[in-house]
Amino acid sequence: MILVDIQGWSVADASRLLAVPVGTVKSRCARGRAKLAVMLDYLRPGNPAPLDSVSQSRHVNTPGAVGGGVGDDH
């Protein structure tokens, strides 16, 4: 992906440099683009902030949270 999509190399040139078949470069680029699209989906308008679910789950597990805090005798 770096060679083809960012640096502008042709698929043929990237395959020669990497010593892999042209089809391998094409499939790796396609898989990389698909993974990147999933990772960057939060940037689409209307999607929640990227750390919302992480920060909420961390909050629940912090000391002092219900059912797990310091001094909780349950």
User: 28 or 57: whose pLDDT is higher?
Assistant: 28
Give the whole-angstrom CA distance, residue 17 versus residue 19.
6
Q: Identify whether the C-beta of residue 5 lies closer than 8 Å to the C-beta of residue 29.
A: yes
pLDDT tens, residue by residue, 27-50: 999 999 999 999 999 998 987 765
Whether this model's pTM surpasses 0.75: no
